[in-house]
Amino acid sequence: MRKWLVTAATFSLLLSGCAQTEGTDSTSRESISLEGLSFTEPVPIGDPEKNPSDPYMRTSPSGKVFLSWTEEVENEEGRNVLVAALAGTGRVLDEPRQMNNQPGEISAHGGENLAKFTVDLNGGVAGIWMKPLPEYHTGEMRFTHADPDAPFAETAVLNDDNKPVNHAFSTITTGPDGKVYAAWIDGRNRSNPQDDRQQMFMAVSEDGGRSYGENHLIASGVCPCCRPNIAFLDGGATLVVSHRFVIKPENIRNHVVIRSTDGGKTFSDPVVISDDGWSSVGCPHAGASMTADSRGTIHSVWWTGGRTDQEAGIYYTYSEDGGQSFLPRQLITRASPNKVLHTQVRTDQNNNIYAVWVDIQDENTQIFLAHRQADSAEWSPKEQLTDGTQNALYPMLAIDESRLYVTWTEKKGENSQVKVRTTLLTGS
């Protein structure tokens, strides 16, 4: 199992074989200019002797940015996951707290299958991750919760099927109503080993992530190894989930969204974000990124190999009708057709859009960023955020009232390091 996880993370840049709304109402605010973003120097995170990796960021309902990452455990194959608040400089504000109380239960270099968390309305942190099981390609979903500045509770199993199958690639988000929504890709009902499609299940917590209701099926035909996303519209009345959908027998792997208007109990049929026509026999380990702005517009950014090599690139689209339809995709930049690349998109309080992605530069993978002003049709020129000396992987974004935060993993051989850069939003 651990061998599979390392392969997924290290080689997800190759074709393998197998939102919470970011801003608030900005009508009373002066528009923020996006020209001249000036990033801080990269800040290293964690204990360098323990090869920090797998960063994940969330902005809390109160506007504070939190970062999680994993570190090696001495004499153990797995890793621990730590979480801490960030200062505007990108440095850790307080003593990191360890989410898992069983040392080493986090998968080694999880890639898009990394541990995730959300911050509840009271400042508590709810975490979720896959714990590998001994059987090949199997794992269970684990969860925990901590009150503000308190230690994390004993971890528990979230999936309720008790089957040694695949439970992985999760997402977790706090809704406007204070409930915590968790969703993950699940193989409990898979009957044909030749069919790699799986299902997505959801569980909802009404106590901030301390406990969850029963698991319920929300989607089928799901690509088994690409992250989902959750966004809320209409003050939480509409719940939107994105995932990658597989069309057989052609193995077309498009990104889709499903919608719920009853608190996640039932969902619509999938709506295609973009019909890219990209076919892959292997599982790509790269989901689209999705978020919703304060006006209820859904934004999505993703990589595709396209129908031809000339179509390969980083693309963007949006929906103004709550995910019932999406506009034709817009190319942000051409990209490698042969290596799977990862993206992130977020919006600020003025509905400006920021995208980061991985691409190849001088044979190394590097992190790039572009932005687009609200109501503009054009993206800025892309900016390289990494120095090119090491491979940079899996970028993440977060935004508070005045700053943009970018984090990623840098790898050189067996060594890794988490880096953070921030920039003041011009006009803040």
357, pLDDT greater than 70: yes
One-letter amino acid of 196: D
15 phi and psi, to 5 degrees? -70, 110
pLDDT tier for residue 49 given thresholds of 50, 70 and 90: very high
Q: What is the CATH number of domain 2-424?
A: 2.120.10.10
309, pLDDT greater than 90: yes
- Residue-wise pLDDT tens digits, 362-398: 889 999 999 999 989 999 999 999 999 999 999 999 9
Mean pLDDT over 298-326 rounds to: 97
5, pLDDT greater than 80: no
What is the percentage of the chain residues whose pLDDT exceeds 70?
A: 90
pLDDT tier for residue 361 given thresholds of 50, 70 and 90: confident
Kindly state the DSSP code that residue 3 receives in the 8-state scheme.
H
Query: E-assigned strands of 167-285?
Result: 167-174, 180-186, 198-205, 216-222, 229-233, 238-247, 252-260, 271-272
Q: Is the backbone peptide bond immediately before 55 cis, with ω within 30 degrees of 0? A: no
Question: What is the number of other CB atoms lying within 10 angstroms of the CB of residue 85?
Answer: 17
* Residue 160 Cα distances to 8, 153, 173, 204, angstroms: 25, 19, 20, 13
Q: What is the pTM (predicted TM-score) of this model?
A: 0.92
